[in-house]
């Protein structure tokens, strides 16, 4: 009877304890894969896209701006291999309102940022006059 209890209850508990106690590599413990570039982009009040790029290795970077869902680019620019930091300002005043994707691509990776372009709505101003008598 004692060996039956040991077989049914104790051995699975010991096995479970050993599994839980074993070191498991968490995503934090694993070294991060090196990225070849970082980028940030935003639309300014002057209706321009400002793009900052920081590359860690020497490879050519291609920048394409196109409407979401289309293959043809409305803007294409290249960053040379030896340039490690670049800032671009794209005038998008003539582009139609809508969603655009900004694709940055090297031989080793690709980064896509989505940008929404909208024509600013003019706000009516109220002028008040105060007359003191």
Higher pLDDT: 124 or 34? It is 124
List, for residues 59-101, the tens digit of each pLDDT value: 899 999 999 988 899 999 999 999 989 999 988 888 888 999 9
Residue 46 lies in a domain: yes
Mean pLDDT across 14-32: 42
Token couple for 91: 């005038």
Residue 8 lies in a domain: no
Is the predicted pLDDT of residue 107 greater than 90, yes or no?
no
Dihedral pair phi/psi, residue 5, rounded to 5°: -65, -40
Answer yes or no: are the C-beta atoms of 41 and 48 closer than 8 Å.
Answer: no
Q: What percent of the chain stands above pLDDT 90? A: 22
Q: Which residues pair with 14 in a beta bridge?
A: none
Other CB atoms within 10 Å distance of the CB of residue 70 = 10
Is the predicted pLDDT of residue 14 greater than 60, yes or no?
no
Residue 65 lies in a domain: yes
Residue 105 lies in a domain: yes
How many domains does the chain fold into?
A: 1
Answer yes or no: are the C-beta atoms of 50 and 42 closer than 8 Å.
Answer: yes
* Domain range for 64: 37-117
132 pLDDT tier (thresholds 50, 70, 90): confident
Residues 6+ apart with CB under 8 A from 45: 120
CA dist 110 and 107 (Å) reads 8
Q: Which residues pair with 122 in a beta bridge?
A: none
Which CATH number fits the domain that encloses residue 100?
Answer: 2.60.40.3080
Mean pLDDT across 113-122: 82
């Amino acid at each position: 009877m004692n060996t039956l209890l040991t077989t049914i209850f104790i051995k699975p508990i010991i096995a479970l304890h050993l599994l839980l106690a074993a070191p498991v590599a968490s995503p934090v413990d694993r070294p991060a894969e090196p990225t070849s570039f970082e980028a940030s982009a935003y639309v300014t009040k002057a209706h321009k896209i400002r793009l900052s790029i920081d590359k860690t290795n020497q490879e050519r970077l291609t920048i394409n701006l196109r409407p979401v869902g289309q293959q043809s680019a409305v803007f294409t620019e290249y960053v040379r291999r030896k340039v490690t930091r670049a800032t671009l300002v794209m005038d998008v005043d003539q582009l139609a309102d809508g969603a655009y994707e900004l694709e940055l691509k090297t031989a080793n990776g690709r980064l896509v940022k989505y940008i929404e372009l909208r024509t600013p709505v003019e706000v009516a101003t109220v002028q008040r006059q105060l007359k003191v008598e």
